[in-house]
Amino acid sequence: MQRSVQYALMLCAAFPALVGAQGFAIYEQGACAMGRAGTGVAAPCDDGSAMYFNPAGLAGIKGGRATIGVTLLDVKGSFTDDIYQQKTDLDDPLLAVPQAYVAFGLTPKLGVGIGLFAPYGLETQWPLSFDGRFAGYDNILRSVYLQPTVAYQVTPWLSLGAGVDIAFGSVELNQRLDLAAAPVPLPGVPPGTIFGQFGIAPGTDFANAHLEATHTSVAAHFGTLVKVNDRVSFGARFLTQAKFDYSGTADFQQVPTGLVVPADIPVTATDTIHAGTPIDGLLGAPGLDLFNPTTGVFRSQPVTTTVKNPSQLALGVAFKVASGWTLLGDYQLTWWDSFDVLEIKFPQDPSGALGRTLFENYQNTSGFRFGAEWQKDAKWTFRGGYLYHQGAAPDETVTPLLPEGDRNEITAGAALKLSKGLSADVAYQYIRQNDRRGRTREPLFNQPPTTGLNNGLYTFHAHLFGVSLGYKF
Amino acid sequence: MTHGRFFVAGGLSLALLAGACHEDELFSPLPPQYAGGAMFQRYVAMGNSITAGFQSGGFNDSTQKQSYALLLATAMGSQYYYPSFTMPGCPPPIDTLFTASGVPHTLGAPLAPPCALRSPTIPPYLTNVAVPGATTFDPVSTLPTVSSNALTLFILGGRSQVEAAADAHPTFLSVWIGNNDVLGAATDQTNAGDPTKVTPVALFTANYDAMLADLDTISTLQGAILVGVADVAAIPYLSYGHIYFGAFLGGAFPPTMTVSSNCAPQSSGGIGDTVLVPFQYGFGLIAQARGGATVTLDCTDDHNIEPTELANLHSTVAAYNAAIAARATARDWAFLNPNVALAALRADPAQVAPFPNTAATSCWGANAAGKPFGLAFSCDGVHPSAATHRLIAQILRDSINVHYGSKIPAVP
């Protein structure tokens, strides 16, 4: 059992950061709001996206709206290690985050709608030559929220709205395991001895791990909108935490090392590993038998964990000035401190010893958004904005799964009325994240990470393109 | 708000972006700040037991830290990573050679097999990839060879020396390999100097060329120094027959031990100044005599390195070194023949004891009385002492500076 524990700890060391970073909160849920840096709590766009930006914004709408959109993320990032000064680029494909909203004004005061959006998501792909492959080289997190919404204009100046979110979550992690860091579960070898002490070089892949898990959760979304007068309005929204009790499977494949034992190695007074023995064969030989599909440490087995998508609060103000101009400002608080410790459990381990507690210690983050919108005429509207957002990961938790940090972003957008009911919105957003030191490896054996593990510099920036097509009926 | 104000806001945003923090200065190590220093930013040492830091028949973190490779890397200002072996060692070094029982005492308690392993703190790469026991058959081999041993695995982990060196992205290399291609024959316990156990020069050069061909593919390499093979006659493990003869005449041996007159110097009609007696054989006879057995040291006995065998060892080493020097020249690399310095040490009895000093009580004494084989060698009579490692580092540094016009500071 001891070897099972040790190997499982190797595997799970990387899992939590996948689902823990600030940067995978996606705020680009409509090209209209995206063009003005995501501002809109106090003045949601008239395209149904109020379901995300402020549910109260559906109150008082006339007729119906149907909007579909997509945000394309062209992510660029790299890691330059301290030792070799070698730069490795992220291998991410062009990512697409869809949105769809349908809203209808049932009465002059009551609006309803249903929205589909993905407020949390992440995909990081690194080449297999990257040292961070032992933390995760192909990592995907998806959280898709389906939100029925209702909003009511309580008074001419006050509207309230709320929605229930059915949240579909999935996570996938692919990582390599490093033989140098693996324990040597041979009789006669002191417990805790790792293959690295037998000379195996760091970065010797011997197994590939694939973890996949899903869960459906529920959250709630509340909003309020206060119109002080025709020019000034305030808004607030609150998205509750969604707790995902993920359940899935861990699968493993042996990766050949091609290494051969160069000389007879006595391991006990009577046992010797003979010269010429392939190390790959040794790992599968009786006594270790790591990859036996029924009894091996690396057999397929269930894995569970609990992850919380954090609560969000946004407060905003909008000010309509002369000549069709509107200025907007939002403040956002995300409670990432709920992601401080993560428990990984393997239910088929009767002793429960495979479970692990991981320390993340994420910090609450604040975001500041400033936007402007200029309605040039009945056909054209132009938008722009700037935002700054803090990173959630502390200095010791910047990893290949999400090497995130403080960000500065600028946006621009435009809307074109194509016909009486049909309109199109486009937006562009540039994200520039501050370069940040981080690590490629996870600490072994349940150790809390420290900045001493940081071994290089992460850079990150991204180009986002949003497009929405809306129809009023 | 005018259009102008809008674009001012946009410009402000861009300025904020431009001011985003860069931390490049946090991770870029600078090359050493002296003439030619960039070439030595990452120095890697290849070789065998001497380079690895083997002393007194053993190997641990303490002896590893005395290696000339570490001293040279320190002088160069190059990062140094070695495969640290925990105490007492793998195997533990001898700490007292001469004991009442006649069995040398090693450091620490007896170990379960295989030995004290490497430290669990594994360095990201190795800059000292030398393996005790390695011959020219080993540097490119990932498979078992006649000279591979447990340390081959514990140090290289299934890689070859060249592969491990390449993994370090070296800018500069030192290669001191080939000593064991003759040392095995010289220290053979049944027929010291056995010519069949000497790697033939043609095979030696073929092995060496194979190694160099692989080294030539390392794109980061800016320079190297090739070190010639040490002449085995310079090690105090081997004592001339005439020294034994003189000691015999002086009454230094038990009465039941005789040294044959053929061990006298050539000037006295013997061959004793062209015969080397291995420590293990000569002192084995002394031990037997002390036990009451009647023994004779005969300089024509196969246990000794006889004149023709010694001549063969000398000529082979000379041929090896000529081949190594030619290959260094062809690549415009530096070359060092260590035998000049080693011969100078042998000329000083305090440095290289002509006959083992049985009064030595410890292998770690600070003066001649504390060193069985003299100040220059450790307690196995084969491997250099810490002081000689310092000397080797210094002459390597001098040779490199002369060849490359660099200004590597003096060895600390």
The residue extents of the domains of chain A are 2-472
- Judged by CB atoms closer than 8 Å, whether chains meet at B156 and A262 is answered as yes
Which residues are CB-neighbours of A389 under 8 A, at least 6 positions away? A22, A332, A365, A366, A367, A368, A406, A407, A409
> CA distances (Å), A74 to each of A77, A195, A430, A458, in order?
10, 40, 10, 17
The band of A12, judged by pLDDT with boundaries at 50, 70 and 90, is very low
From chain A, the residues in CB contact with B164 under 8 A are 201
**Residue A204: closest CA among A182, A185, A232:** A182
Statement: residue B10 has pLDDT above 60: no
Distance of alpha carbon A65 from alpha carbon A56, whole angstroms:
15
Reduced to 3 states (helix: H, G, I; strand: E, B; else coil), residue A75 is: strand
Nearest-CA residue of chain B relative to A280?
B158
What does each C-alpha distance from A372 to A317, A318, A329, B12, B286 come to in angstroms?
12, 9, 9, 14, 100
How does pLDDT run across B113-136, given as a tens digit for each residue?
A: 668 889 998 998 999 999 999 999
Helix, strand, coil distribution of chain A in percent, nearest 5: 10, 50, 35
What percent of chain B has a predicted confidence (pLDDT) above 90? 79
CB nearest to B23's CB, from A267, A374, A457: A457
B138-176 pLDDT, tens per residue?
999 999 999 999 999 999 999 999 999 999 999 999 999
Is residue B226 within 8 Å of residue B333, measured between CB atoms?
yes
Tell me if B95 sits within 8 A of B363, measured CB to CB: yes
- Interchain proximity A261–B153, CB inside 8 Å: yes
Nearest C-alpha neighbor of B131 from the set B111, B159, B167: B159
B43-47 and A87-89 strand pairing: unpaired
Q: Extract the tokens encoding A57.
A: 């914004």
- Give the tens place of pLDDT for each residue, A355-385: 567 777 889 999 999 999 999 999 999 999 9
**pLDDT-based confidence at B112, cuts 50/70/90?**
low
Using a CB–CB cutoff of 8 Å, tell me whether A380 touches chain B: no
CA–CA min distance A126, chain B (Å)? 20
Question: What pLDDT score was predicted for residue A4?
Answer: 43
> Residue B20: its pLDDT value, please?
38
Q: What is the ipTM of this complex?
A: 0.86
CB contacts under 8 A, A 278-297 vs B, are: 279
Chain B interface includes A434 (CB < 8 A): yes
Kindly state the percentage of chain A with pLDDT values over 70: 93
Residues of chain B in contact with residue A85, where contact means CB-CB under 8 angstroms, are 27-28
Q: Which residues of A touch B117 (CB under 8 A)?
A: 193, 197-198
Instruction: Provide the pLDDT confidence category of residue B359 given band limits of 50, 70 and 90.
Output: confident
Nearest residue on chain B to A36, alpha-carbon basis? B10
Residue A448's contacts (CB-CB under 8 Å, 6 or more residues apart) are A359, A396
Distance, in angstroms, between A445 CA and closest chain B CA? 13
pLDDT of residue A322: 80
CA-based nearest residue in chain A for residue B138:
A262
Q: What does the pLDDT average to over A187-192? A: 78
Residue B253 predicted with pLDDT over 50: yes
User: Token pair for residue B256?
Assistant: 């039941």
Mean pLDDT of chain A: 88
Place of tokens 């069995």: B103
Please report, to the nearest 10 degrees, the dihedral formed by the alpha carbons of residues A276, A279, A285, A288 taken in order.
Answer: 140
> Are the CB atoms for B161 and B145 separated by under 8 Å?
no
Question: Is A326 in contact with A373 (CB distance < 8 Å)?
Answer: yes
Residue in chain B nearest A370 by alpha carbon: B9
CA end-to-end span of chain B: 70
- Which residues of chain A lie closer than 8 angstroms to B120, CB-CB? 192-194, 196-197
- Domain spanning A2-472 has what CATH number? 2.40.160.60
- Taking the Cβ of residue A378 and every Cβ of chain B, the question of whether any pair is shorter than 8 Å is answered with no
Q: From the list A192, A322, A408, which residue is nearest B20 (CB)? A: A408
What is the per-residue pLDDT across B158-168, written as a single tens digit (0 to 9) for each?
A: 999 999 999 99
Structure tokens at B237: 């493990």
B156 contacts in chain A (CB < 8 Å): 199, 201, 262
**Within an 8 Å CB–CB cutoff, is residue A262 touching chain B?**
yes
Q: Which domains does chain B have, with CATH numbers?
A: 37-235+307-404 (3.40.50.1110), 238-297 (no CATH)
Q: Give the integer Cα–Cα distance in Å for A147 and A113.
A: 8
Out of B21, B112, B148, closest to residue A263 by CB: B148
Reply yes or no on whether the pLDDT at B379 is more than 70.
yes
Q: How far apart are CA A446 and CA A5, in angstroms?
A: 11
Q: How near does any CA of chain A get to the CA of B132, in Å?
A: 13
Rounded to whole angstroms, the Cα distance separating A55 from A153 reads 12
In the A/B pair of chains, how many CB contacts fall below 8 A? 154
Distance linking the first and last C-alpha atoms of chain A? 65
pLDDT score for B14: 37
Sign of CA dihedral A433, A437, A442, A448: negative
- Asked if pLDDT for residue B28 goes beyond 60, the answer is no
Average pLDDT over residues B248-275: 96
Tell me the chain B residues in contact with residue A433 when contact means C-beta distances shorter than 8 Å. Answer: 20
CB burial of A286-301 (b: ≥16 within 10 Å; e: otherwise) equals: eebebbeeeebbbbeb
pTM of this structure: 0.85
What share of residues in chain B are helix, strand, coil (percent, to 5)? Answer: 40, 10, 50
Beta bridge partners, A170, equal A142, A214
Q: For residue B120, give how far its alpha carbon lies from the nearest alpha carbon of chain A (Å).
A: 6
- Cα separation, B123 vs B196, whole angstroms: 40
Check whether A78 has a pLDDT greater than 80.
yes
What distance in Å separates residue A272's CA from the closest CA in chain B?
9
Computed over its alpha carbons, how large is the radius of gyration of chain A? Answer: 26
- Residue A146 and residue A221 in contact, taking contact as beta carbons nearer than 8 Å: no
Indicate the pLDDT class of residue A441, thresholds 50, 70 and 90: confident
Alpha helices in B53-189 (DSSP H): 61-64, 68-76, 150-156, 161-167, 180-186
Where are the strands (E) in B144-256, listed by range?
A: 172-176, 223-227, 238-240
* Residue of chain A whose Cα is closest to the Cα of B27: A82
Tell me which chain B residues have a C-beta less than 8 angstroms from the C-beta of A388. 16
pLDDT exceeds 60 at position A189: yes
B276-278 and B238-240: which strand pairing? antiparallel
Partners of A434 on chain B (C-beta within 8 Å) are: 20-21, 23
Q: What is the least distance, in Å, from the CA of A335 to any CA of chain B?
A: 25
Looking at residue B113, its pLDDT comes to 63
How much is the pLDDT for B101? 80
A218 and B CB contact within 8 Å: no
Kindly report which listed range (A34-48, A346-360, B328-342) carries the lowest average pLDDT score. A346-360
Q: What is the largest CA-CA distance in chain B?
A: 116
Is residue A6's pLDDT more than 80? no
Tell me if chain B has a CB within 8 Å of the CB of A439: no
- The answer to whether residues A381 and A372 touch, using CB atoms and an 8 Å cutoff, is no
The answer to whether A262 contacts B154, with C-beta atoms less than 8 Å apart, is no
Residues 296-325 of A with CB under 8 A from B: 321-323, 325
